[in-house]
Structure 1
Amino acid sequence: MNSIGGRTLVLVLCVLSMTITGGIVLPGSTAAMDGDAVQRVTVQQHSPSVAQNETPPHRNPDDYSEDGDLESLETWLADRLASQLNESAIQLSEGEYELAEGYVDEEYRERLEQYVDVAGETDGESREDEFEEAATKQEELAENRQEYRETKAEYEEARDAGNEARARELARELERLAAEIDGISHDLQRTYQSVNNATSQDVSSAEDAINRTNSDVQQEQAVIRDLVFVETTLQLEAENDEISFLEPLTATGTLRTANDSTVANESIRLEIDGRSTVVETDANGTFDLEFRPTNTSLSAENVTVRYVPERSSVYLGSETNVSVSITQEEPSVDIHEAPADVTYGDPVRVRGAVHVDDVAVDGVPLEVLVDGAVLGETRATDGQFDDEFELPASVAAGDAELRVRIPFEERALAAADAKTATTVRETETDLAVTAREVDERRLQINGSLEAVTGVGVAAQPVQLRVDGVTATTVTTAEDGSFSETVTVPPSVTSDAVEVDATYRGAGSNLAESDVKATVQLRPTGSEARKGLSSIQTWVWAAVGFGGVTAIGGAIWWYRRRQSPTHERVATPDESETTVETRGPSPAETLLSRASDQLSQGDANAAVQTAYAAVREHLESSVEDAGALTHWEFYRRYRSDGESPTADALEAVTRQYERASFTLEAVSEQDAEAVLDDTRQLCEGDTTRVDGGNTADD
């Protein structure tokens, strides 16, 4: 046997025997450029841990309960959440708005869910609401801060172009954004105090970063305000303070500028308790105001009146408060027109009026209901309402009550309603289903539920059965469609199975329907392997028997080959003609292993192994990579610079998390996509990785 053939046989036997025993261990190889050892990567079949440089998967809270370590896990999760809030705030203060949002994205929410689960098992006080509010507020702050920067750029462009009207409109929008940023920043400061009590992390850096962000905006806006606007003062003098809908507030007011001059002979818009009205100022800048309270709280001791200038006005808005005491009045709701019967998908028109005595009521919300189900909301204009609604499927067929109501409690107007009889008619349905085998004894079932009119029906349960055995119940989407992957029950032994989709229509106004589809199953793996020859069986038995010897021989040969005492010194002539060859890199070996796992039907293991290949290949391009979780590694990789492969890494990371930390199986199609992305990451340009040298150098 020649040396090449001998080495090949040893390696083949080694790999095959390790495959039989259930895993692959790849020793570190020598780097081609700098001689540093590549970190060892271990891939163990049926294990969620695919790489030694990856943090362990999240453990079930029950496991920690057995260890008596739930409190430590709760603290660790709280620290991680606080750390992400810190990083988000710092990125925000540096103008990296997308990165700021990235630290409080889906991965943060998933970690928060884990924190909530664990905190529910301990005696400590959960800070779930504070962590949730902090993330939401920081996302809002990042969005508003980015919008402020973009709007300011438009404002400066308009000013440079001499478009003063457009510049004022944009400056007013900047005023609104600056006010929102200020409010959110103060809310965050309060939330940080609560977060600080739940974690050992110091969130003062986040507080400082948010303060800097807000301070920068307010200083910028103060300059714009002084350049563009004239500040105003709104003054009101009420004639009465005990008011009701029938006894409205009457007042006289003036609008003055900062230099104490009046805004005379103009129409100005005032907003009172959320409702808008227009008044006219006279030559002295004086106006008269009347206000009938409707949805104002009975406990209110004052109402706020705001001056709301037009977008292109030179004036800034202002506001003042008026002291009041409110008495409740009883309104009446009348239904003038409503359908005698209603059907799913058809418009339901309702017309009527709202008044107190003979005074029309404007602007109050009116809910329209059928048998307690809210169809929608409308509002009265000059005391009249006229609107159309859709009947939901959830209202049962039969005699019903149509109702229009004012849904108030403890308001200036009391709650009131009107009722009329109607009949809900049943509507026929059309149920469709298709099914195909996507994996061994796994079926992809797609379908839709529509009314006979062709309108898709949302949020309805459809039962799926395979050869009479209930597999699952799915809920239709907004357009009436549904999609689910189910496993053929073990009790089903036939090659052709019948998929039955059933909609019962219970408690709805839709008729039940049923539809079937037949799927021809492919032979199972055990059946496909029945044709293996006795020679093939003997070969595998021999490999298993010789596994230990093969491994030992391979290790001896590998060490002997690497030993400097056995190196052959090439002659000058040989040096000129010999081409150096290298074996596959650890990442390439892992990728090959992932491909094998996928071909064997183990999609989850394939994804985990592919992720290990990615980490192995990209690790040197990311600082402190070994200590990072999968999402932290992705964010660090992305933040280190622009890279066309960042999207591919995100996709691989997301599927890796699905395969490792959830009960949801990865489909073969998704796993194949992961392998494609992994090839792109491992075989593409490695400029980032090698610090400027390509893989071919």
Structure 2
Amino acid sequence: MGTDDGGPALNRQVETPADNNETQQKNPDSVSNGEYSDETAGWLARTMGGQLENSSIALSNAQYDRARSVLGDDYDKRLEQYVEVAGDTSSETDDTAAKEFEAARENQRNLTNEVQRYRQQYAAYQTARERGNEREARTTARAMERTASNISDRSNELNQNLDRIENTTSIDLSSGQAEINETTANITATQAVIREETLVGTTLTVRSIDSTASFSDSGTVAGQIQTENGSVIADEAVELRIENRTRTVQTDSSGVFETQYRPRSARLGSQSISIEYVPETDSVYLSDNATFVITVQQVAPDLTSEIAPDSVGYGDRLNATASVTVASDDVDAVPVEFAIGESIVARTTTGPNGTATETIRLPATVNDGERQVIARVPYEDRAIAGVQSETPVVVVETRTNLSVNASRTDDGVLVSGKLQTVAEEGPVVGRPVRLQIGASGTQRVETNRNGSFQTVLEDPQNNESVTVTATYDEPRANLGNATATATLAAGSGSGDPPVGSDSDTDLSTIDKLVAILLGSNENPVAAFGNGAIGYTWLPVLGGGVALAVVGAAWFVVSRVRQSREMDSPDPAETGDASLTDPDPSATSSDEPMPTFEDRVGMYLDSGNYDAAAMEAYTTVHDVLAVENGIDEGATHWELLQRSQEHGVPEERIADIETVVETFETAAFAPTSVEPSRAEAAVERARKIKSNGNH
């Protein structure tokens, strides 16, 4: 039996590849960056391929923590390096491979989570059966049905990723694929047995009675639900999901039902509309899907809007309301955007009364002067027509104050400062400031959540006295311009040691070679600033390879990395890949899962991916509102914008964006969120929530 701290699974690890090619030393002037990058890209690809295979091996042995950790920070670092190097290689396929390595990581992580969830569900199912609790057994079996389907989907997607990686990099990932396929086949076979002994399949048939449907004149749809043995689900209230909206209908003695289809976001013309029978969680019946064809017609709604106050400046609150109606009927669940000029400042949806209300903080990007607040339904060629309403507002200019300080360091000139409003001395967040030393070129920096900035510039004056100038000047904004200067006295800063000096002679691994190329913050010698001219000889793995970095100006911005948290505490892992005789005690001693986990787990298990996406967003919204002081009423896109303005690191911004985009699909799109996207949003929300609690 394999365990996370040893055992057979660890003995099956894929070894980290070594580069045993031997190349004679060459003059630095004759070695191209492309040649250097090709070898580095190959090593990185083999390393990440080995990590993917090790994760698959750990998963097959139920070592879930290990399966995730193998694809943790180190894999992310290699991937980041690979993306940078891919742009300099002679092969165009490296860019494609980089995307596949990233997708493979996500699919492998999701597959690990789903397999762990399935095995936990299986143990709970067996326990319920042994105790004679058929209702609990059915509920668990239905959840397992969805999880098994997710595993099949993730497995197929992961295999496609690995196939593409093999085709573009020529590395062999067949052993990892074999482990994935064996794990998936085992679960598929197990679920087939459970389905046969516990659940009953159904067949849903539907047809449209009316040929057309619109919001003002809904179309009638009729259908019937039969079981796999030919009987009907008669005289019952059943739940149907049409597109992304659910409703309850009553079947008659023949299992026949009728319902109304009232389109909002459906596209115009003849459309195939999806409908799903959604049994209760403890039902013996399985769900089924069908479609009906109907011609969707458009209705133009009335849109009215109001704002207050009628004059605002940078950071001021603007209360905006929009109401959408058709005749006397309120139009709920349609998207509404609020924009000022060309800047979209909020996105939301109408509530049950057809009204959307937002509190907007005026961003810097809106130019001052007389402007229009535009409220609009951003539809085109949909059942509800796109309309808009305009309300005037006066945007006043806010004066700013800029400060700057400069000092010489060994790395160059350290420049820092702050941009804030004059009246309230509040920080101006996320705005560009141009820096210049003497008559040299300018460099752009951006203010952080405190309105501050700091960077190191190259010293072009050879330690002579010089003026450092900071300038804020945005022509299309509501913030006033500002300039500040600082005099840098003559000094004798030592500067960085030249690349290739004695301080570099211990860089004997491919890891440090990559760090020099990419400016990793693990290697301070590699901080080239704005440019470094020179070359160095560096020994590489295998003892015989010597590559040169020739006269080039490398500037790589170090990315702030957040520690990656895994899932919330997992139950004790059995290390047993078999599903034939799981230990029921493996789950009986678990600590209760957090409320967030309970909710998203229920939504994912029941296939309600829209609700899972919305729950993920709600959690992220709450964390960021507290963490960064973001207004509780911020819309989803405003939440992302405010996070950027508060200086949230790039990696975390990408996580927030995944959650926000998935939420927007759940709230606005005519179809439900794809399972993989909902799972990715939940995973990002877990990470953000975990980091927010530390």
**TM beyond 0.5:** yes
Q: 1:253 to 1:524 in 2, by over 3 A?
A: closer
Contact 1:270 1:305 (C-alpha < 8 Å) held by counterparts: yes
Residue 179 of structure 1 corresponds to 149
Which letter does structure 1 place at the counterpart of 2:482? S
Q: 1:230 to 1:52 in 2, by over 3 A?
A: closer
CA-CA distance at 1:199 after TM superposition: 4.5
Residue 338 of structure 2 corresponds to 368
Which letter does structure 2 place at the counterpart of 1:377? R
Higher relative contact order (CA 8 A, sep 6+): 2
Which letter does structure 1 place at the counterpart of 2:289? E
Q: 1:393 to 1:165 in 2, by over 3 A?
A: farther
Contact 1:342 1:425 (C-alpha < 8 Å) held by counterparts: yes
Q: 1:336 to 1:652 in 2, by over 3 A?
A: closer
Contact 2:318 2:361 (C-alpha < 8 Å) held by counterparts: yes
Pick which of 411-420 and 263-272 moved more.
Answer: 263-272
CA-CA distance at 1:392 after TM superposition: 1.7
CA-CA distance at 1:461 after TM superposition: 0.9
Which letter does structure 1 place at the counterpart of 2:511? H
2:470 to 482, 501, 524: 501
Q: Report matched runs for 1:307-456 at 5 Å.
A: 307-309=277-279, 311=281, 315-337=285-307, 339-381=309-351, 382-439=353-410, 441-445=412-416, 447=418, 449=420, 452-453=423-424, 456=427
Which letter does structure 2 place at the counterpart of 1:385? A
Contact 1:269 1:279 (C-alpha < 8 Å) held by counterparts: yes
1:127 to 77, 93, 102: 93
CA-CA distance at 1:606 after TM superposition: 7.0
Residue-by-residue CA offset, 1:212-269 (whole Å, 9 max, x unaligned): 3433443344455556655443332421233333332212334444455555565543
CA-CA distance at 1:416 after TM superposition: 1.9
C-alpha separation in 1, matches of 2:180 and 2:555: 41
Which letter does structure 2 place at the counterpart of 1:513? A
C-alpha separation in 1, matches of 2:556 and 2:408: 15
C-alpha separation in 2, matches of 1:198 and 1:351: 52
2:53 to 80, 90, 99: 90
Q: 1:254 to 1:202 in 2, by over 3 A?
A: same
Unaligned runs of 5+ in 2: 1-18, 60-66, 529-537, 539-548, 561-694
2:204 is aligned with 1:234: yes
Secondary structure at 1:93's aligned position in 2? Answer: helix
Secondary structure at 1:443's aligned position in 2? Answer: strand
Residue 220 of structure 2 corresponds to 250
Contact 1:366 1:404 (C-alpha < 8 Å) held by counterparts: yes
2:511 is aligned with 1:630: yes
Secondary structure at 2:373's aligned position in 1? Answer: strand
Contact 1:655 1:666 (C-alpha < 8 Å) held by counterparts: no
Contact 1:607 1:655 (C-alpha < 8 Å) held by counterparts: no
C-alpha separation in 1, matches of 2:524 and 2:389: 54
Which letter does structure 2 place at the counterpart of 1:252? A
CA-CA distance at 1:306 after TM superposition: 1.8
Contact 2:463 2:491 (C-alpha < 8 Å) held by counterparts: no
Q: 1:656 to 1:424 in 2, by over 3 A?
A: same
Contact 2:110 2:154 (C-alpha < 8 Å) held by counterparts: no
C-alpha separation in 1, matches of 2:486 and 2:167: 58
The two structures have a TM-score, normalised by structure 2, of 0.60
CA-CA distance at 1:363 after TM superposition: 1.4
Q: Which has the higher helix share?
A: 1
Q: Percent identity of the aligned residues?
A: 26
Residue 105 of structure 2 corresponds to 139
C-alpha separation in 1, matches of 2:143 and 2:421: 45
The two structures have a TM-score, normalised by structure 1, of 0.60
C-alpha separation in 1, matches of 2:450 and 2:29: 38
Q: Report matched runs for 1:582-601 at 5 Å.
A: 601=497
Contact 2:103 2:161 (C-alpha < 8 Å) held by counterparts: no
Residue 298 of structure 1 corresponds to 268
Residue-by-residue CA offset, 1:592-631 (whole Å, 9 max, x unaligned): xxxxxx9x8569857744443xx6xxxxxxxxxxxxx328
C-alpha separation in 2, matches of 1:657 and 1:310: 60
Q: 1:467 to 1:54 in 2, by over 3 A?
A: farther
C-alpha separation in 2, matches of 1:111 and 1:218: 35
Which letter does structure 1 place at the counterpart of 2:211? D
C-alpha separation in 2, matches of 1:435 and 1:167: 69
Contact 1:463 1:470 (C-alpha < 8 Å) held by counterparts: no
C-alpha separation in 2, matches of 1:402 and 1:57: 66
1:106 to 47, 72, 77: 77
C-alpha separation in 1, matches of 2:402 and 2:144: 52
Secondary structure at 1:148's aligned position in 2? Answer: helix
Contact 1:460 1:476 (C-alpha < 8 Å) held by counterparts: yes
2:438 is aligned with 1:463: no
C-alpha separation in 1, matches of 2:359 and 2:410: 48
Which letter does structure 2 place at the counterpart of 1:512? N
Residue 476 of structure 1 corresponds to 447
Which letter does structure 2 place at the counterpart of 1:373? S
C-alpha separation in 2, matches of 1:368 and 1:108: 38
Unaligned runs of 5+ in 1: 1-50, 526-597, 616-628, 635-649, 671-697
Secondary structure at 2:70's aligned position in 1? Answer: helix
CA-CA distance at 1:140 after TM superposition: 1.9
Residue 585 of structure 2 corresponds to none
Contact 1:432 1:448 (C-alpha < 8 Å) held by counterparts: yes
Contact 1:93 1:212 (C-alpha < 8 Å) held by counterparts: no
2:155 is aligned with 1:218: no
Residue-by-residue CA offset, 1:61-81 (whole Å, 9 max, x unaligned): 99549xxxx6x8897677657
Pick which of 227-236 and 340-349 moved more.
Answer: 227-236
CA-CA distance at 1:98 after TM superposition: 2.7
Secondary structure at 1:278's aligned position in 2? Answer: strand
Secondary structure at 1:141's aligned position in 2? Answer: helix
2:453 is aligned with 1:490: no
CA-CA distance at 1:114 after TM superposition: 2.8
Q: What CA RMSD, in Å, does the superposition of the two structures yield over aligned residues?
A: 4.6
Q: 1:460 to 1:55 in 2, by over 3 A?
A: farther
CA-CA distance at 1:450 after TM superposition: 5.7
Contact 1:604 1:665 (C-alpha < 8 Å) held by counterparts: no
Contact 2:408 2:493 (C-alpha < 8 Å) held by counterparts: no
CA-CA distance at 1:353 after TM superposition: 1.9
Q: Which has the larger radius of gyration?
A: 1
CA-CA distance at 1:657 after TM superposition: 7.1
CA-CA distance at 1:457 after TM superposition: 3.3
Residue 528 of structure 1 corresponds to none
C-alpha separation in 1, matches of 2:83 and 2:77: 10
Which letter does structure 1 place at the counterpart of 2:339? L
CA-CA distance at 1:462 after TM superposition: 0.9
Contact 1:471 1:489 (C-alpha < 8 Å) held by counterparts: no
Contact 1:330 1:414 (C-alpha < 8 Å) held by counterparts: yes
Which letter does structure 1 place at the counterpart of 2:366? V
Which letter does structure 1 place at the counterpart of 2:182? R
Residue 155 of structure 1 corresponds to 121
Q: Report matched runs for 1:271-286 at 5 Å.
A: 271-281=241-251, 285-286=255-256
Secondary structure at 2:380's aligned position in 1? Answer: coil
CA-CA distance at 1:287 after TM superposition: 3.5
Which letter does structure 1 place at the counterpart of 2:112? Q
Q: 1:73 to 1:367 in 2, by over 3 A?
A: same
C-alpha separation in 1, matches of 2:425 and 2:237: 51
